[in-house]
Amino acid sequence: MKALEVKISFAYGERDVLREVEFTAERGELLAIIGPNGAGKSTLLKCLVGILRPEGRVTFDGTNLLELKPRERAKLITYVPQSSFPEFAFTIEEFVELGTYATKGNVEEALKRVGLWERRNEQITALSGGEYQLALIARALAQGSEVVLLDEPTSHLDINRALEIMELLKGMSRERIVIAVLHDLNLALRYADRLMLLHNGQKHWEGKPEELKPEIIEEIYGVKARIAEVDGHRVLLAGI
């Protein structure tokens, strides 16, 4: 079984942001990283993809990703950052092709899967915030890498698009490892195979969605929380 094995620490200068964060993600799994603002979630993804240089190890299928050249690493792992607007003049199709290992066929399939194929010749700057996020996800899909990391992939999406994207990520995770930072705990509860809760740069809790207890949410987020069951789905209600 191919797995991503992680044990890392990271500091921005003097400031420890990740402390011995250790976890394993296996092929076929959608892992959601949750936790309050500033917990270290984005920093963790940036360390995994090699944008930041952590202490420790990140291995995929036995290969230490931290020692690979960026181009070799990019074959194995793709990162979809938090959405920010592009300034450059590309068409949507050109933008999705930018991935180092994207082929024409992959690009077409990826654009179709996120619903942007018909608009492929428009300028990327013509997209709305949510549509741009879909283009970023298409770019990751077109890469075809084994591990896909996404930082808040649904943050700019309406509820319908958010559900579509979570379905898409779930489908992607069958043949890969998908790790997504999610603020929407209900999407995490519904779609993730496993949750990892980061707090103050440490792994505070890890488990299956059905194992998450409201007390853990109350303790970490400082809000009252209840978990109800609706048609077999666990739904988190916060603040009541």
Neighbour-count burial of 153, counting CB atoms closer than 10 A to its CB (0-12 exposed, 13-18 middle, 19+ buried): buried
Instruction: From 182, 165, 84, 162, select the one nearest 129 (Cα to Cα).
Output: 84
Q: How far is the CB of 46 from ligand ATP (least distance, A)?
A: 8
Closer to ligand ATP at the Cβ: 42 or 133? 42
Residue 101 interacting with ligand ATP (CB under 6 A)? no
Residue 127 CB, nearest approach to ligand ATP (Å): 22
Helical packing angle, 159-173 and 129-143, nearest 10°: 10
Structure-block tokens of residue 215: 């007390």
* Residue 43 lies near ligand ATP (rule: CB under 6 A): yes
CB of 183 to ligand ATP, least distance (A): 6
Candidates 35, 50, 54, 99; binder of ligand ATP (CB under 6 A) is: 35
* Residue 233 near residue 239 (C-beta atoms within 8 A): no
Q: Does 53 bind ligand ATP (CB under 6 A)?
A: no
Q: Out of 8, 32, 34, 39, point to the residue binding ligand ATP (CB under 6 A).
A: 39
Query: In whole angstroms, how close is the CB of 68 to ligand ATP at the nearest point?
Result: 23
CB closer to ligand ATP out of 84 and 121: 84
Cβ-contact 209, 189 below 8 angstroms: yes
- Residue span binding ligand ATP (CB under 6 A) among the ranges 33-41, 57-65, 137-145, 210-218: 33-41
CA–CA gap between residue 3 and residue 93 (Å, rounded): 32
- In sequence order, the 6+-apart residues with CB closer than 8 A to the CB of 137 are 80, 114, 150, 153, 165, 168, 169
Which residues ranging from 125 to 154 are in contact with ligand ATP (CB under 6 A)? none
Point out which span in 41-49, 112-120, 127-135, 214-222 binds ligand ATP (CB under 6 A): 41-49
Q: Near ligand ATP by CB under 6 A, which window of 31-39, 67-75, 88-96, 214-222?
A: 31-39
Whole-angstrom Cα Rg for the chain: 18
Task: Report, in Å, the least distance between residue 148 CB and ligand ATP.
Answer: 17
Do residues 195 and 59 touch, judged by C-beta distance below 8 A?
Answer: no
Cβ atoms of 157 and 132 within 8 Å: the answer is no
Q: Name the DSSP letter for residue 218.
A: H
> With binding defined as CB under 6 A, does residue 37 bind ligand ATP?
yes
Q: Contact residues for ligand ATP (CB under 6 A)?
A: 12, 15, 17, 35, 37-43
